[in-house]
Amino acid sequence: MHGDDTQREKGSSGDQIANSGIDESQPVSRIPFPVSRELHVPVLLHEALNFLRIQPEGNYIDATLGGGGHAQEILKRLGSGRLLTIDRDPKALEAAKDKLAEFSGKLMMQHGNFAQIDELHAASGLPPVDGVIADLGLSSMQLDDASRGFSFNLPGPLDMRMDPQTETTAADLVNRGSERDLADIFFELGEERHSRRIARAIVKARPYRITTELAQVVTRAIPSRAGLHQIHPATRAFMALRLAVNGELENLDEFLGRILTVVRPGGRVVVISFHSLEDRRVKQAFRRWQDEDRATVLTKKVVRPSEDEIRSNPRARSAKLRAAEKN
């Protein structure tokens, strides 16, 4: 159920886990930060590679290929090893195919949802792997393509589907959903304290076709006294719609429930999340694995980007990394 408009905002930066570096016992192999002008800049790249502990003869999975930044650095470190890459976005796979062409001999690509990680791994023919990385964020390529409908800053169709085969679009939700259902989406998936006010304004002003039209209505619905934002007023509403359209939290739960079945003992799982709903699920799954003696948590505290990385790539500011090793 959704909260009222006077409830304390749950998704603020103050509610998120404080910044910390990785364990000093695991030194980070540094790579110069890419400049932010690049099409896609992988977040927490140094830390992810450090926890994956890439071996030249090892086999790995990039469960959310995206812009291919993490995959590219893994492939550079492989000799006889192989990398299976997965993405539900066919455009991401097509773009990465060109970017990673030089590694074609050790690269495997599959169109699919990481929620079916066990089935996709079985289809690849790889043995249990030495490491898996899942970066749960949107790539810059997706955010900056107005035709995808992910950005509230760029006018484009209200789509937000990762996979064009998905039936429901964001336009379907905002134009057909009841006021109550929309309020629930914004509160539960966006942790938006003004959920009811925003839903009421959306229903009153619909229909919508363009992202910026919706963003303007959401922004106007939020009281001016709440205007001291660290983020754009439409951020949480747009995030909630994207999560709902793509079933992202449900897919993450499935992934976390299956991933250890494809990893060999001593293999590692690295997950990079971007908001508290995702991070909470990852943290709880890793703790459960450790309690059941199935894995050992490697990140005693969540790993956050350094100040240098955030300056170089502002989109990294909300990233959080956790890692575990299968027993």
Q: Are 63 and 282 in contact (CB under 8 A)?
A: no
Q: Answer yes or no: is 130 within a domain.
A: yes
* 70-106 pLDDT, tens digit each: 999 999 999 999 999 999 999 999 999 999 999 999 9
DSSP-assigned letters across all residues of 189-213: HH--TTHHHHHHHHHHH----BHHH
SS3 breakdown of the chain: % helix, strand, coil, rounded to 5? 45, 15, 40
* 121-148 pLDDT, tens digit each: 999 999 999 999 999 998 888 888 999 9
Residues 191 and 240 in one domain: yes
Residues 232 and 133 in one domain: no
Which tokens belong to 96? 């990465």
The pLDDT, as a whole number, for residue 228 is 54
Lowest-pLDDT choice from 93-102, 242-251, 260-269: 93-102
pLDDT of 36 > 90? The answer is no
Name the 3-class secondary structure at 132.
strand
Residues 131 and 218 in one domain: no
Residues 210 and 154 in one domain: yes
Domain count, the chain: 2
Grade residue 315 by pLDDT with cuts at 50, 70 and 90.
confident
Nearest-angstrom CA–CA distance, 320 and 318: 7
* 303-313 pLDDT, tens digit each: 999 999 999 98
CATH of the domain at 79: 3.40.50.150
Residues 58 and 158 in one domain: no
Round the CA-based radius of gyration of the chain to a whole number and report it: 20
Backbone angles phi, psi at 235, to 5 degrees: -55, -50
Mean pLDDT of the chain: 88
pLDDT of 59 > 50? The answer is yes
CB within 8 Å of 18: residues ≥ 6 apart: none
Q: Are 270 and 280 in contact (CB under 8 A)?
A: no
Report in angstroms the alpha-carbon separations of 298 from 49, 224, 281. Answer: 13, 43, 16
Residues 45 and 152 in one domain: no
Spatial strand order in the sheet of 107-111? 107-111, 82-87, 59-62, 129-135, 263-273, 320-326, 295-297
Grade residue 225 by pLDDT with cuts at 50, 70 and 90.
low
pLDDT of 241 > 60? The answer is yes
CB within 8 Å of 69: residues ≥ 6 apart: 34, 40, 41, 42, 45
Residue 218 is part of which domain span?
146-246
Name the 3-class secondary structure at 305.
coil
Residues 227 and 214 in one domain: yes
Residues 47 and 104 in one domain: yes
Q: Answer yes or no: is 93 within a domain.
A: yes
